[in-house]
Structures are given as structure tokens and as C-alpha cells.
A and B are shown apart, each in its own frame.
Chain A
Amino acid sequence: MTILRVFKSRPVVAAAAIAAVVAVSAPAVAHRAWMLPSATVLSGDDVWVTVDAASSNDLFYFEHHPMRLDNLAVFSPDGKQIKAENIATGRYRSTFDVKLSESGTYKMAIVNDSLFASYRVDGQVKRMRGATPEKIEKEIPKNATDVRVQEVQSRMEIFVTQGKPSDTVLKPTGRGLELTAITHPNNLVAGEKAEFRLLLDGQPAKGVEVDIIPGGIRYRDKLNDVKVKTSDDGMFSFTWPEPGMYWINAGVRDDKASYKDAQRRASYTATLEVMAP
């Protein structure tokens, strides 16, 4: 439904996108997708983290759908991709383990970069998710009408450090919406200000609204979310009020899709742990 509404208003959005990137408010998707590591700051030689991954209303409770882990990539401190172990998907959550055999910062990312198409055939609306350009050309019938294609780039990340934090895995790829750390994501402490830069295709993403929500929603009445806007150089800062896990999310929509005439929707999500002082 949401998607259809987006398409109907597309000419307007596309026009605006010529001037600037259009910030999309976070609740474009009804549920929040997240990964939750068992720990982010670790010591010792033979340590593991286990990670839950799900999409749900409340953070960080698995009560809706497990996260698909097909596109999970785990990077060790030297930037090499390593294997996640014990991958499993249950009714409400997926889970995997990572052995931290090196000292430094690890990154776990679920990145989706694909096309979403909708079209009408014989009066019926059809949808195609996770599509490639080839699949669209091949599988959408020639008699289809109202063909709309959207490029969806989503990136969800967590960071975990054994020993001294390192920077190799923090390098942006230059594609989609990404976070670069001025403050290391495993060096966050309540009461201190953290600074980050949001990039879109490797360039500062300005004027993008970043939604910051502390975990533990189930046991309070208010969401306690904070929205901060990135500056002209893509920067935003935030002073963590309390220790705990935080969910941060931002999204943009523009017409810079790699597929012809498609609209692009890019989002970034991270779960960050803020330690007690």
C-alpha cells in the first residue's frame, strides 16, 4: 500500500528530487529492522558474539518477523569477509554467531541492493521484489501497463570490537546511504557527544533526518525518539542520554537509480551500544 502511494505521487517527488535529495521519514516501512549483538566491547582471546536479527515494532524485541540473512556479510578487522557460524532462523528471529579471533573492530552488515517493480496485467497489480534488470526485462509481460521500477538500497550494520577499536571496516563503499564514524561506533559513552557523517554514494548526505531511538520500548510509554538533521557536510552529532542499545535510521529518496527511469530509495540502519561512563 505504502509503495503504491509512493508511485502515485512520483511525478511530484521526482521533480523535487532534481533540486535535492528528499529525506524520507523513517516509518516508511511499518516495522523496524534490526540486529542486536550480545556485546560490542569485548576483551580476551577466545570470544564470540551472538547476534539476533528481526523486524518488529518494539526495539529490541523479536515479536514479528525474523530477518533474512541471505545478504549477511561479516568483516574481520583487516576488512576480509569471514563466515558467520550457527546461522538459524526461527519463528520471530534469526540468529548467528561470530568468532572474534583477531583484535580490532568487526562489522556485520545486511545489504540489499535490488529493484522493486510493480505493474498491471489484465487489471491485476503484480509486484516483483529483489529483482535484477535482466529479470525485469525478461519476466514482465509485454502487455503490462503501469510499470514502475524502484531501486532499493538498504544497509543495516552493527559493529563489535575485541580489544582496541580499529577503522578498516568503517570505510564506506561509496554506494547507497552509509555512515562514517567521526566517533568510533564502539567508543560511545552516555553523557558524551558522538559525531557521525552520513554519505550518499560516497558524498556528504545533507539535510537528511536521522531517527535515533533507544531500545527497551516495551517498558515505557513514550518512544523517546530524537530526530537530528545532517548538516551541509553530512554531519550529525548526538549526546547519548543513557547507556544502552540505540537504533539509528535514515532514508533518502531520489532519482539517481542505476536503472532507467527508476526512483531510488536508500536507507541506513545501525544498532549502536552506548556504555555507562
Chain B
Amino acid sequence: MRLMFSAALSAVIVVPASAAEMKVSVEIPRMTVAEYHRPYVAMWLEKAGDPKVVNLAVWYDIKLKQNEGAKWLKDMRQWWRKTGRELEMPVDGLSSPTRAPGTHEVTFDDAKLAGLAPGEYQFVIEAAREVGGRELLRIPVQWPPKPDAEGKAKGEHELGAVSVALKP
């Protein structure tokens, strides 16, 4: 698994960067529904015309016995088609548990971003909730970034405010 993931990264390695950082803020909306499950969330970087993506994070039910939570990974259907179906989840450094409603900050550093080829990327975040809906947001990202580069998007139902802040 690590192998496949490294391969995905190495495909875009051109210029080694250092101390790069991407800070992502994700709001999981609070819902007043009879049956609530925390959403599955996937984040990745993609580049137009490049089938390879850079996986950033996948939040899913990793604690269920016998990896039963993997059953709903395909509901993040774009992520599943682009990269998820190629992976054997859980993947170290990629998967983590689902998050509660509220705003969450995650930072991706060199380990994920070093070697990102210069160009125009899309930061993509996809959320799918059991017995709920699914939503996908895109934020354009330039790499290497300009100082204090920031992008924002706002979801309508499964995601709230999402922002991406970059440091070269």
C-alpha cells in the first residue's frame, strides 16, 4: 500500500521543496436529523489531465471490527474512482477516524507536498454521510504558492466552510 501511494507521489516529483505547508480548515455542519453518522471525508490534490492524484486525508470508520467501515468508502464516489479503489484501506498516514461536527484544522507538510510539480492544482474535498447526502468542493491551488495564498469554498449541506492556506 505504501508502495502504491509513494508511486502516486513520485509521479509528480520534479522540484524538491522544503518546509512546505498546507493548512486546511474543514467545517462539518451540525445536523438535526433522527439518525446521524459522522461523514466520511476525503481530501486530495489533482491536476487537470493527470490521472494520478495526491491523497491528503481520508476520514472514515477505521475502528469498526474487521474493517467493516470500508464498506462505505465507495460513497465518496469521485475519490473512490480516482484513487480509493486502488488502495487497501486503512493506509498509514492517510486514514484517520471520522470527525464530529465543528471546525477542524489539519496541516499537511513536506511528507505530502515535497516534490509536488509546479502547476495549477485543485484541492478537492468530498464528504459522504451514511443515510445522508454527499458533497464535493473544489478549491484552486497554485504550486508553488504565492506567500499567504488562501482559497475558500462553502458547502451547502454535508460540508460547511472549507479553506486552504499555503506556505511555500
Contact = CB atoms under 8 A, between A and B. Distances in A.
B103 interface: no
A187 B67 contact: no
Main secondary structure of the interface of B (DSSP, over half): helix
Interface stretch (B11-19, B81-89, B113-121): B81-89
Contact of B74 (A41, A165, A276, A277): A41
A42 B74 CA distance: 6
B71 A164 contact: no
Given A43-B80, A277-B78, A164 B66 contact: no
A245 B59 CA distance: 30
Contact of B85 (A45, A163, A189, A276): A163
Interface in A33-72: 41-47
24 contacts: A41-B77, A41-B80, A41-B85, A42-B71, A43-B70, A43-B71, A43-B72, A43-B73, A43-B80, A43-B85, A44-B68, A44-B70, A44-B73, A45-B67, A45-B70, A46-B68, A46-B71, A161-B85, A164-B85, A164-B86, A187-B81, A275-B81, A276-B77, A277-B78
Nearest to B67: A45
A275 B128 CA distance: 15
B13 to A, nearest CB: 24
A46 B66 contact: yes
Interface residues of A, number: 16
Interface of B: 66-68, 70-74, 77-78, 80-81, 84-86, 89
Contacts of A43: 70-74, 80, 84-85, 89
Given A43-B80, A44-B73, A277-B78, A165 B85 contact: yes
B77 A275 contact: yes
B132 to A, nearest CB: 15
Main secondary structure of the interface of A (DSSP, over half): loop
Given A43-B89, A163-B85, 12 more contacts: A41-B74, A41-B85, A42-B71, A43-B71, A43-B74, A43-B85, A44-B72, A45-B70, A46-B68, A164-B86, A275-B81, A276-B77
B9 to A, nearest CB: 19
B51 to A, nearest CB: 12
A189 B84 CA distance: 16
A187 B77 CA distance: 11
B8 to A, nearest CB: 14
A276 B78 CA distance: 9
A276 to B, nearest CB: 7
Nearest to B71: A44
Contacts of B80: 41, 43
Contacts of A46: 66, 68, 71
A161 B85 CA distance: 10
Contacts of A277: 78
A91 B119 CA distance: 60
B67 A44 contact: yes
Interface in A156-198: 161, 163-165, 187, 189
Interface in A263-277: 275-277
Contacts of B85: 41, 43, 161, 163-165
Contacts of B89: 43
Contacts of A44: 67-68, 70-73
Contacts of A45: 66-67, 70
Contacts of A161: 85
A189 B81 contact: yes
A189 B80 CA distance: 13
A165 B81 CA distance: 10
Contacts of B67: 44-45
Contacts of A187: 81
Contacts of B84: 43
B70 to A, nearest CB: 4
A47 B73 CA distance: 12
Contacts of A189: 81
Contacts of A163: 85
> What are the 9 closest A-B residue pairs judged by CB atoms, nearest first?
A44-B71, A43-B74, A44-B70, A43-B73, A164-B85, A43-B70, A163-B85, A45-B67, A164-B86
